[in-house]
Chain A
């Protein structure tokens, strides 16, 4: 008997199921149903309040946020942020059409549309959406969004549209499923939920930022 059969047989032996067909149907229904459970009351608010909640929660976990009125102003906002921290105006950037469409050179930014390399200090990525409940950004990996962009560079900059801010994680799942890519690959290879900066408490439980992932997370929120 293979290990698979051994394990499944051991499990089945203890599961008393007079009607196996009914159990299989119940399981199939549950898998297809995506039924939501209790969601916190804190997200039962209108969209403007969700936008404010997102900013509050992301700020509480050390992300910085700038809200701008016009998407064309993104390169300027990024360049300004980097100048403010005395960082070079050079970054790896996700090959995302929304980011491609921006005029980075006008803001004296040098951007490289590729996955980040070990030497890149700054990475710019485009989240799929964001969850107000805990100030969490949701990244969907793919040609337009390298997953490593969220972890390798020390400074992680995210360009988010206000309309992409949702209430709970369940709303993010629905959006991701709706953007599906066909059978078996309905969801991206990697979904990264990012809530603030990398952190550890492994030495004397002292909170320290930026142990392996980004030490700085900056979010540019564009009104739309």
Chain B
């Protein structure tokens, strides 16, 4: 039950580095508005959008309530179309299954469509360690593979890079450029297309994730814009689908309702360019398609969330909308979270799958402003779950000692009204008197974490309660 290479315990340091990185701040600034404005436009042009969200939630809830039965139905349907279903209780099993399929075929190179569960289980380094070369083919994933970095956004993995950085990476890794740095974005695209086209044609196995699994038909579904996921699964001899067990939905009609909110929430498109439904291996007479079709159903901690406080995160359709809406993600970017699942959904999924001990900082990296829940197509109560993790953090004694002492002090004062009134009116009058001249403090003892980066406004001289008492 773990996520590959989690560094969430270093969130604070990583966030500081991100905040001080001027290039990253410039790149993150581009995120603002872009996705979210497009989402708002897409929502406005579909009057049924919010009703579709509610229907989507009902579909997911029904499926999760009967998850065992739908997984069995899905398995039977895949088998009926000639495909093979593998079950992996954890990341290690999933990696071993995938490697065994590749080795049986004598595979040397594997092309990959973007798969977050692939990142979760760390499939790339594992294949590499066993002499198999994985090639990411989604442009964003390809860029970060060249940079040897994890994705910083679940749908826009290279959002933290700008064109200069991409140009340098291509110059470094594409020998035919002889070190020339491409500056034009269109030329970069042509270059990547040419390089990756050869990789597609040479690959022995293609690995993709899945947006949905259809229990009725045994189809796996991917939703993409570039077409890389399709070349990945159609050209090689075998197609391996890595997927979490929560991706199953009953019927094509159910998937259709979710499709109507997915792209709109993610990129603001009405429909992504390619939505592909794959059922089993190529059939007799088919002019193309893989000879073998494998689905790896991965649990890796998901079943442990059922019936608990964080079960609702299993509704997540990975649109990335909460990342786009989050003011914290918008400042620190994805890498600070130290997990391939970043932003608000990552602050739930990372501690849920990798353990709170490892990731207890993430639920605290939020002002609980609630924008994530507001935009989430599945209306996942993220702030509620963040609070749950904060309570757990206290119970487990994981919170920093200063925070625990501070809260204890606060609780002691807050439960004694007379003492509270005296303490607050003393503090406000002293601070008010001290800060009257400038109206704010540039530094203050014990408040360094605040005043290091901004001024603290000075109180107006009297506490709310004393002002209220004077009025009545």
Contact = CB atoms under 8 A, between A and B. Distances in A.
Interface of A: 2-4, 6-8, 10-12, 14-15, 23-24, 26-27, 30-31, 33-38, 40-42, 57, 61, 95, 114-115, 118, 133-136, 141-143, 146-148, 150-152, 168-170, 173, 183-206, 208, 210-214
B303 A211 contact: no
Interface string B180-212: 000001101100110011001100000000000
Interface of B: 27, 30-31, 34-35, 46-48, 51-52, 55, 59, 62, 65-73, 77, 80-81, 86-89, 93, 137-140, 143, 156-159, 161-163, 166, 185-186, 188-189, 192-193, 196-197, 200-201, 215-217, 219, 225-228, 230-231, 234-235, 245, 250-254, 256-257, 259-260, 267, 269-283, 285-289, 297, 299, 303-304, 306-308
B271 A204 contact: no
Given A8-B71, A34-B253, A141 B286 contact: yes
A108 B265 CA distance: 46
A146 B289 CA distance: 8
B276 A3 contact: no
Contacts of B272: 195
Contact of B285 (A12, A143, A151, A205): A143
Given A170-B256, A185-B283, A147 B289 contact: yes
B422 to A, nearest CB: 50
Contacts of A204: 27, 30, 162-163, 185
A166 B148 CA distance: 46
Nearest to B252: A173
Interface of A is mostly: loop
Contact of B254 (A10, A37, A61, A142): A37
Given A143-B285, A201-B267, 15 more contacts: A11-B245, A14-B303, A15-B66, A35-B253, A37-B253, A38-B48, A134-B270, A136-B275, A142-B283, A151-B227, A189-B280, A201-B156, A211-B227, A211-B228, A213-B273
24 contacts: A7-B71, A8-B72, A30-B62, A31-B250, A33-B251, A34-B252, A40-B46, A95-B287, A143-B286, A147-B234, A148-B235, A148-B288, A151-B234, A169-B256, A170-B256, A190-B279, A190-B289, A193-B275, A193-B277, A199-B226, A208-B185, A211-B139, A213-B274, A214-B227
A87 to B, nearest CB: 17
Contacts of A185: 80-81, 279-280, 283
B217 A151 contact: no
Contacts of B158: 202-203
A213 B227 contact: yes
A210 B193 contact: yes
Contacts of B71: 7-8, 11
B129 to A, nearest CB: 22
Given A190-B278, A208-B186, A38 B51 contact: yes
A11 B66 CA distance: 9
A200 B139 contact: yes
A212 B226 contact: yes
Contacts of B186: 208
B193 A205 contact: no
Given A15-B66, A205-B34, A36 B253 contact: yes
Nearest to B200: A212
A6 B461 CA distance: 63
Contact of A183 (B70, B80, B273, B276): B80
